[in-house]
Amino acid sequence: MVKNLSFSFLKGIAAGASIGVGGFLYILMVFAVPGEIGKVLGSILFAVGLFTVCSLSLHLYTGKIGLIYEKKQEKEFYFSLPVMLIGNAVGAVGLGYICYFIFKDLDIYQVALNTSAIRLSLYTFEDYLSCMVKSFLCGLCVYLAVKSFAYKRISIIGTLLLVLFVFVFVYAGFQHCIANMFYFSFANSWGWEACVNLIFCILFNSLGPVVGVLLIKAVQKQETK
């Protein structure tokens, strides 16, 4: 078990870094291309991160958590979830601080600050409720994206659906716990607000896949009639 958990940790680091790459591409596009076009391009290119995770079978917490709602898993799987989450954090935070030290004196750093600040606006009940809802919907989108990519019968459609679901959650401003770790690190904006944000994001990212599991089961049940 220790060997498998170590393997999961290492693949978790790679997954976290991959999501960080997606986050960096988003920030780069927002910086380089003015207006909504930059945001659209960045939201599409963010999918590079999740595509890499799925293609290389890396261990992303938000991509794996939905499995616990599908069927009973092996005991080892439940131990691996916190391990891969810690690995994700190491990869995302590490890449974020690499970007911080490289770009902190350049204009692109302001985009990183703005991206982080939006997620740290937790002052009213409505702010907290918004964070919960956006995190829940992000968890649902990630689950559907991963399941779509795993749909091997028509793989190109699965890939397009992955990009679509990623585009939706990034462009709509839904909150992804691992991506937020990258943004907070790039902006060097860690503090109690960031920790509170991540607690809500991890919790509701974890609950979002429930709806996806129910939707897929309903469709499968309908197809068997």
CB 44 within 8 A of CB 56: no
Tens digits of per-residue pLDDT, 69-124?
Answer: 988 788 889 999 999 999 999 999 999 999 999 999 999 999 999 999 999 988 89
Higher model confidence: residue 70 or residue 181? Answer: 181
The answer on pLDDT for 198 being more than 90 is yes
Residue 162 has what pLDDT?
95
Of 91, 101, 21, the closest CA to residue 60 belongs to 91
Q: What is the structure's pLDDT at 117?
A: 96
- Read off the pLDDT of residues 137-173 as tens digits, 9 standing for 90 and up: 999 999 999 999 987 655 788 899 999 999 999 999 9
**Strand, helix or coil for residue 12:** helix
Q: Which fold has domain 2-223?
A: Glycerol uptake facilitator protein (1.20.1080)
Distance of alpha carbon 125 from alpha carbon 122, whole angstroms: 8
Model pLDDT, residue 73: 80
Other CB atoms closer than 10 Å to residue 102's CB: what's the count? 12
pLDDT for res 82:
96
pLDDT of the residue at 152: 62
Nearby residues of 38 by Cβ (< 8 Å), 6 or more positions away? 29, 30, 31, 32
Q: Can you tell me the distance from the alpha carbon of 207 to that of 66, in angstroms, rounded to the nearest whole number?
A: 8
- Residue pair 10/81 in contact (Cβ under 8 Å)? The answer is no
pLDDT at 79: 92
Name the pLDDT band for 215 (thresholds 50, 70, 90).
Answer: confident
Tens-digit pLDDT profile for residues 1-59 = 777 889 899 999 999 999 999 999 999 999 999 899 999 999 999 999 999 999 999 99
What pTM was computed for the model?
0.94
Q: Do 56 and 15 touch, CB atoms closer than 8 A?
A: no
Domain ranges of the chain: 2-223
How many C-beta atoms surround the C-beta of residue 18 within 10 A? Answer: 26
Q: How far apart are CA 121 and CA 203, in angstroms?
A: 18
